[in-house]
Structure 1
Amino acid sequence: MMIVITGISGFVGRNLSNYLRQYNCSVEGLCLRNNWKLNVNSNAIIHLAGKAHDTANTTADEEYFKVNRDLTIQLFDEFLNSNIKDFIYFSSVKATADTIEGILDEEHKSNPKTPYGKSKLEAEKYLLSKKLPDGKKLFIIRPCMIHGPGNKGNLNLLYKVVQKGIPWPLAAFDNKRSFLSIDNLNFLIGKILSNKNIPSGIYNFADDDSISTNELVKIIAEASGKKTKLWKFSANFISSVAKLGDMIKLPLNSERLKKLTESYMVSNDKIKKALEISSLPISAKDGLTKTIKSFQS
Structure 2
Amino acid sequence: MILVTGATGFVGSALCAELEARGLPFRAASRSPRPGCIGVGELGEATDWSAALAGVDRVVHLAARVHVMKERAADPLAEFRRTNVAGTLRLARQAAAAGVRRFVFTSSIKVNGEETQPGRPFTADDPPAPQDPYGVSKLEAEQGLLELGRSSGMEVVVLRPPLVYGPGVQANFRSMLRWVRRGVPLPLGAVDNRRTLVALDNLVDLLIACLEHPGAAQQVLLAGDGEDLSTPDLLRRVAAALGTRARLVPVPPALLSTAAMLVGQGAVARRLCGSLQLDLGKTRRLLGWTPRVGIDEALRETARDFIQSGG
TM-score (norm 1): 0.91
Alignment correspondent of 2:37: none
Alignment correspondent of 2:48: 36
Question: 1:210, 1:284 within 8 Å by CA — same for their partners in 2?
Answer: no
Secondary structure of the residue aligned to 1:206 is coil
Alignment correspondent of 2:68: 54
Alignment correspondent of 1:114: 132
Alignment correspondent of 2:96: 80
2:12 corresponds to which letter in structure 1? G
Confirm whether residue 172 of structure 1 aligns to residue 184 of structure 2.
Answer: no
The alignment covers a number of residue pairs equal to 288
Alignment correspondent of 1:158: 176
Deviations, residues 103-125 of structure 1 (Å, cap 9, x unaligned): 11111111111001001101111
Confirm whether residue 63 of structure 1 aligns to residue 79 of structure 2.
Answer: yes
User: Using the alignment, how far apart are the partners of 1:124 and 1:245 within structure 2?
Assistant: 35
Alignment correspondent of 1:281: 292
Structure 1 unaligned segments of length 5 or more: list them: 247-252
Q: Runs of 4 or more off by more than 6 Å in structure 1? A: none
How big is the shift at 1:274? 1.6
Secondary structure of the residue aligned to 1:160 is helix
Deviations, residues 200-236 of structure 1 (Å, cap 9, x unaligned): 2101111110111100111121112212321012323
Confirm whether residue 269 of structure 1 aligns to residue 281 of structure 2.
Answer: yes
Confirm whether residue 185 of structure 1 aligns to residue 203 of structure 2.
Answer: yes
How big is the shift at 1:285? 2.8
User: Using the alignment, how far apart are the partners of 2:49 and 2:85 within structure 1?
Assistant: 18
Confirm whether residue 45 of structure 1 aligns to residue 59 of structure 2.
Answer: yes
Question: 1:68, 1:119 within 8 Å by CA — same for their partners in 2?
Answer: yes
How big is the shift at 1:97? 1.2
Shift in CA distance, 226/139, structure 1 to aligned 2, threshold 3 Å: same
Question: 2:106, 2:161 within 8 Å by CA — same for their partners in 1?
Answer: yes
2:165 corresponds to which letter in structure 1? H
Question: 2:241, 2:296 within 8 Å by CA — same for their partners in 1?
Answer: no
Secondary structure of the residue aligned to 1:104 is coil
Question: 1:40, 1:84 within 8 Å by CA — same for their partners in 2?
Answer: no
Alignment correspondent of 1:205: 223
User: Using the alignment, how far apart are the partners of 1:191 and 1:64 within structure 2?
Assistant: 28
1:26 corresponds to which letter in structure 2? P
Deviations, residues 62-110 of structure 1 (Å, cap 9, x unaligned): 1111111110111111122121111011110101212222111111111
Structure 2 unaligned segments of length 5 or more: list them: 32-39
Secondary structure of the residue aligned to 1:99 is coil
User: Using the alignment, how far apart are the partners of 2:72 and 2:256 within structure 1?
Assistant: 23
Question: 1:170, 1:232 within 8 Å by CA — same for their partners in 2?
Answer: yes
User: Using the alignment, how far apart are the partners of 1:261 and 1:272 within structure 2?
Assistant: 28
Secondary structure of the residue aligned to 1:270 is helix
User: Using the alignment, how far apart are the partners of 2:212 and 2:258 within structure 1?
Assistant: 50
Question: 1:55, 1:256 within 8 Å by CA — same for their partners in 2?
Answer: no
Question: 1:168, 1:217 within 8 Å by CA — same for their partners in 2?
Answer: no
How big is the shift at 1:197? 4.5
Question: 2:221, 2:283 within 8 Å by CA — same for their partners in 1?
Answer: yes
User: Using the alignment, how far apart are the partners of 2:173 and 2:127 within structure 1?
Assistant: 29
Residue identity over aligned pairs, in percent, reads 25
Question: 1:208, 1:280 within 8 Å by CA — same for their partners in 2?
Answer: yes
User: Using the alignment, how far apart are the partners of 1:139 and 1:85 within structure 2?
Assistant: 11
Shift in CA distance, 256/140, structure 1 to aligned 2, threshold 3 Å: same
TM-score (norm 2): 0.87
1:274 corresponds to which letter in structure 2? L
Question: 1:40, 1:83 within 8 Å by CA — same for their partners in 2?
Answer: no
